Structure 1
Amino acid sequence: MKFIVLAGGSGTRLWPLSRKNFPKQFLKLHPQEAESFFQKTLKRLSFYEEAEFFVVTNNKHKFYVINQIEEISKKLKNDPKFEIILEPDSKNTAPAIALAIRYAMEKGVSQEEIFFVSPSDHLIKPDKEFIDYIKTAEQIAKKGHIVTFGIKPTRPETGYGYIKVRAPEIEKFFKVEKFVEKPDIETAKKYIEEGNYFWNSGMFAFKADTIIEEFKQHAPQLGKIFEESYERVLNDFQTLPEISIDYAIMEKTQKAALIPVNIFWSDIGSWESLYEILEKDSQGNAVLAESINIETKESLIVGDKRVIATLGLQDTVVVETQDALLIAKKGECQKVKEIVKILSHKAAPLVEEHTTVYRPWGSFTLLETGHRYKIKRITVNPGQALSLQMHHHRSEHWIVVRGTAKVKIGEKEQFVHENESVYVPKSTLHRLENPGKIPLEIIEVQVGEYVEEDDIKRFEDLYGR
């Protein structure tokens, strides 16, 4: 079986922890967490024998995907193969899925092959039972059905889409009557009472020729993807409609089948849904922070480096990062997207990046910024190197605090050790490398009339940027 893993989403519903350039799927919720949501997805699906992954992402997230695959690879079962597919533009799930299938056809995968589509930011357990459901879906998909997993609702939830099925269940699946948008609370209660509605999990299984036929019939503009060369598809990708697979295919097809799935599932689509899955203390608080909570009940406390102290809170969400603080009443967190929208209109960097920004060579953390200066902590992973570059508007001073740096400034190369420093003048070619076995950490002080990230001219780069 081939797995299409969708890893290009922006994940802003968990702002301020999730940002557009480092979204939810790549997050580890706290420092003790061993794996990100994306890594958990790969680990879960790797239980399937002879799995091959087609990971769909974009250029902004390419190196997160590469680095996290490398990091998790030793923990994966059955030694799966990976292909990374870069969307030229974010166009929602239908174009992403069509692009992945077209890529697979380009690589010689048969149209008789079964594909399973999975988001990369859900929590599902236990893994082995989930694989059993996938094997059932595979058998049903071989008969020409487009299979989706339906989660039996445990509460009236306004944050999920629903799927209405026709009774009775036949051959381990229901026929789908219709897909339903996220409801208001009263409608959600009605769905629970009626009993023939399931949460839409966003997971699908189908034979390649089945979904290609449905694309051509119900979404002709996307169906043309399968008549063009892959190179032509990439060139024309921006002209494709921005549409979900639900709208493009599932709401129109007569081939939809639903398997009721009776295991733990959550898309962690809001802070409330995170609260639901976490362990609680004696007062019903879920805490991922160093905190002191007095007379605080039924609340979610998530923190970074500060100690969080609460007094007399109830049904409250508190999320602290290095540059933002969210305080909300439980039940209102679906409106986080309104905060993100306001910040986006202001072009605020709080939407795009954390104070820590990841690069293919490591990361940097903004420590302080002011008029004509910026201070960063830079971490370069063993064996990695920044590009050979130049800045026209700033000079830089590097102080090594851990490890050994190999530095090229102009024509001179040298090694710089702990508690040593070097100076990089404006308009001078330079490169920073880590030749050692441990992470290299330096403090960088930038000074100049312009200290933004776009004052960079690259001449050589290991990562093709």
Structure 2
Amino acid sequence: MLYPVILSGGAGTRLWPISRESHPKPFIQLPDGQTLLHKTYRRAVNLPNVGEVITVTNRDYYFRTKDEYQATQARLASTYLLEPVGRNTAPALAMAALYVGERFGPEAVLLALPADHLIANPDAFGQAVAAATQLAQQGCLVTFGVQPTAAETGYGYIQVGDPQPPGYAVRRFIEKPDAASAAAFLDSGGFYWNAGMFCFQAQSLLHAMERACPHLLQAARQCWALTTQSGTPGSGMVELHAASFSQLPDISIDYAVMEQAHNVAVVPCDLGWSDIGSWSALSQLVEPDEHGNRHIGHAVALDSYNTFIQSERHLVAAVGVRDLFVVNTDDAVLVVHRDKVQDVRQVVQHLKQHGHEAYRLHRTVVRPWGTYTVLEEGPRFKIKRIEVRPGAALSLQMHHHRSEHWVVVSGVAQVINGEQHILVRTNESTYIPAGHKHRLINPGKVDLVLIEVQCGDYLGEDDIVRFDDDYGRADPPRS
């Protein structure tokens, strides 16, 4: 059996402002309406002989990830290894190998798939996975080499060595080269892009880690032992032991293992692959007009050339410009020259350094129970639109510094307000004083929509004490 391991996370830097820390690249919606995570999961479950899909992701992304998978309507066992913090691909794959090896045996084959890559040729992907699986069963650590189509300086490269049917031995890995080296690699024909996808037996990876990074593996084993003591493995949702996992080094599987191992093979393939690593790559998913302009959403381009515009809600008009990327969201606008799209991450760094929430959150924020959108805010007030899914409930909570007024726009709200349990119907309202325990529940079969007006000295999202929560976010009791 084959066990795909989907690696899902990221900080949302190069595709800002669509991608944010709380809404990273795997969750962004492509022009066809699907997310990268949705597409990755579909590719995984459509492979033959798949026993179970393992997803390694942050604890905060668990419920949204489940929603994405359920939307595919695929019926296959899934296990989620939930990280308390991001620690890159080497720790993530170490934990996945420990889980798979313990549950399915040391010879079980893992297929590591980043959740934010696009593959246009699923048949070629299936053939490449079959070849990689064959090599993995021989004890190789297998990577996938994508046929380069340009002298790209933003990707790592793999130089092939002697034939090792159905692939090749890896001669060496090359990190992101300069332009002259990339052009030489393209001309030589013996170099491939490193796609960041891997295939190996659980025991092969763990043995390689024992040689290349024993301290990392020892720490991973300790974390797994503490995790299994909690009784979560086998339940479908495995929360990795927070304190010990946080001590693992932040390092990629390439640096930690692949570049040091001697039993590494590569399967060359032409998959129609892209890591959608910049606005340039994303824009290529849209057909251009006769002037090279590409649009998503509401846009007008006059006397403009090679310009990309994406606007979720507002009309954006460009006149007399060229080689620009303009991305408009509800709370941010990005304008960047085509030659500088890789520098968008510097905007995110700047926002983070200055404490601006736009690096982390959209104006509409997804929660396990639904969404909220900040409509307006100012000194001592904030107005939100809250949407609660049928049967869902917010936590039983309390705020120290703010009161809340709720007006139901549609649906019926079941409200706990102190000692009161009441129903609030459309066009009715209720008031939650500061310091009151309260809870909002949607008992109906349609979405509950309400307007919340907050008033108080402090309106930050961290002014919340959770006493009970359906999604495991309740605060621990004080001793």
Q: TM-score, normalised by structure 1?
A: 0.95
Report the residue type matching 2:133 in the other structure: E
Aligned partner of 2:46 in structure 1 is 47
User: Over residues 335-362 of structure 1, what are the superposed CA-to-partner deviations in whole Å (9 max), with x where a residue is unaligned?
Assistant: 1111111111112111111111111101
Kindly indicate whether the alpha-carbon contact (under 8 Å) linking 1:214 and 1:249 is maintained by their aligned counterparts in 2.
yes
What's the CA shift for 1:430? 1.2
The answer as to 2:91 corresponding to 1:90 is: no
Report the residue type matching 2:64 in the other structure: Y
What's the CA shift for 1:264? 0.6
2:101 to 81, 102, 105: 105
What's the CA shift for 1:152? 1.1
User: Over residues 88-142 of structure 1, what are the superposed CA-to-partner deviations in whole Å (9 max), with x where a residue is unaligned?
Assistant: 3211110110011112234x22001111000001111232331222112111111
1:151-300 to 2 correspondence within 5 Å?
Answer: 151-166=146-161, 169-225=163-219, 228=222, 230-232=224-226, 234=241, 235-300=243-308
- Say which is worse superposed, 212-221 or 280-289, in terms of deviation: 280-289
2:219 & 2:54 partners in 1: Cα distance?
17
1:49 & 1:154 partners in 2: Cα distance?
29
Tell me the secondary structure at the aligned position of residue 339 of structure 2: coil
Aligned partner of 2:121 in structure 1 is 126
What's the CA shift for 1:229? 6.7
Report the residue type matching 2:355 in the other structure: A
Report the residue type matching 1:304 in the other structure: E
Report the residue type matching 1:198 in the other structure: Y
1:316 & 1:190 partners in 2: Cα distance?
30
2:222 & 2:462 partners in 1: Cα distance?
36
User: Over residues 280-315 of structure 1, what are the superposed CA-to-partner deviations in whole Å (9 max), with x where a residue is unaligned?
Assistant: 222222211211111122221111111010012222
User: Over residues 214-234 of structure 1, what are the superposed CA-to-partner deviations in whole Å (9 max), with x where a residue is unaligned?
Assistant: 000011112225754724373
What's the CA shift for 1:145? 1.1
Count of aligned residue pairs for this structure pair: 457
What's the C-alpha RMSD, in Å, of the aligned pairs? 1.6
The percentage of aligned residue pairs carrying the same residue is 41
Aligned partner of 1:56 in structure 2 is 56
Tell me the secondary structure at the aligned position of residue 14 of structure 2: helix
Aligned partner of 1:6 in structure 2 is 7
1:331 & 1:145 partners in 2: Cα distance?
40
Assess, with a 3 A threshold, how the Cα gap between structure 1 residues 12 and 297 changes in structure 2: closer, same or farther.
same
2:220 & 2:299 partners in 1: Cα distance?
54
The answer as to 2:442 corresponding to 1:434 is: yes
Aligned partner of 1:143 in structure 2 is 138
1:153 & 1:407 partners in 2: Cα distance?
58
Aligned partner of 2:21 in structure 1 is 20
Assess, with a 3 A threshold, how the Cα gap between structure 1 residues 264 and 420 changes in structure 2: closer, same or farther.
same
The answer as to 2:416 corresponding to 1:414 is: no
1:243-392 to 2 correspondence within 5 Å?
Answer: 243-392=251-400
Report the residue type matching 1:222 in the other structure: L
Kindly indicate whether the alpha-carbon contact (under 8 Å) linking 2:164 and 2:265 is maintained by their aligned counterparts in 1.
no
Kindly indicate whether the alpha-carbon contact (under 8 Å) linking 2:100 and 2:202 is maintained by their aligned counterparts in 1.
no
What's the CA shift for 1:70? 2.6
Assess, with a 3 A threshold, how the Cα gap between structure 1 residues 457 and 25 changes in structure 2: closer, same or farther.
same
Report the residue type matching 2:345 in the other structure: K
1:128 & 1:276 partners in 2: Cα distance?
21
Kindly indicate whether the alpha-carbon contact (under 8 Å) linking 2:97 and 2:205 is maintained by their aligned counterparts in 1.
no
1:417 & 1:88 partners in 2: Cα distance?
39
Q: TM-score, normalised by structure 2?
A: 0.92
Tell me the secondary structure at the aligned position of residue 11 of structure 2: coil
2:104 & 2:223 partners in 1: Cα distance?
15
Kindly indicate whether the alpha-carbon contact (under 8 Å) linking 2:380 and 2:456 is maintained by their aligned counterparts in 1.
yes
2:403 to 395, 412, 415: 395
What's the CA shift for 1:451? 0.9
1:345 & 1:333 partners in 2: Cα distance?
20
- Say which is worse superposed, 281-290 or 137-146, in terms of deviation: 281-290
1:426 & 1:88 partners in 2: Cα distance?
31
Tell me the secondary structure at the aligned position of residue 232 of structure 1: helix
Report the residue type matching 1:211 in the other structure: L
Tell me the secondary structure at the aligned position of residue 156 of structure 1: coil
User: Over residues 14-62 of structure 1, what are the superposed CA-to-partner deviations in whole Å (9 max), with x where a residue is unaligned?
Assistant: 11110011101011135xx432111110011111234211100112222
1:401 & 1:283 partners in 2: Cα distance?
45
Aligned partner of 1:29 in structure 2 is 30
2:291 & 2:202 partners in 1: Cα distance?
51
Report the residue type matching 2:38 in the other structure: Q
Report the residue type matching 2:117 in the other structure: H
1:214 & 1:20 partners in 2: Cα distance?
32
What's the CA shift for 1:437? 1.3
Aligned partner of 2:432 in structure 1 is 424
2:110 to 92, 115, 123: 115
1:229 & 1:392 partners in 2: Cα distance?
36
Report the residue type matching 2:188 in the other structure: E
2:107 & 2:416 partners in 1: Cα distance?
54
Report the residue type matching 1:173 in the other structure: G
Report the residue type matching 2:77 in the other structure: K
Assess, with a 3 A threshold, how the Cα gap between structure 1 residues 294 and 227 changes in structure 2: closer, same or farther.
closer
Kindly indicate whether the alpha-carbon contact (under 8 Å) linking 1:99 and 1:225 is maintained by their aligned counterparts in 2.
no
1:195 & 1:348 partners in 2: Cα distance?
46
1:404 to 412, 416, 423: 412
Kindly indicate whether the alpha-carbon contact (under 8 Å) linking 2:141 and 2:198 is maintained by their aligned counterparts in 1.
yes
2:433 & 2:221 partners in 1: Cα distance?
54
Report the residue type matching 1:45 in the other structure: A
Assess, with a 3 A threshold, how the Cα gap between structure 1 residues 354 and 363 changes in structure 2: closer, same or farther.
same
Report the residue type matching 2:89 in the other structure: T
1:46 & 1:349 partners in 2: Cα distance?
36
Tell me the secondary structure at the aligned position of residue 438 of structure 1: coil
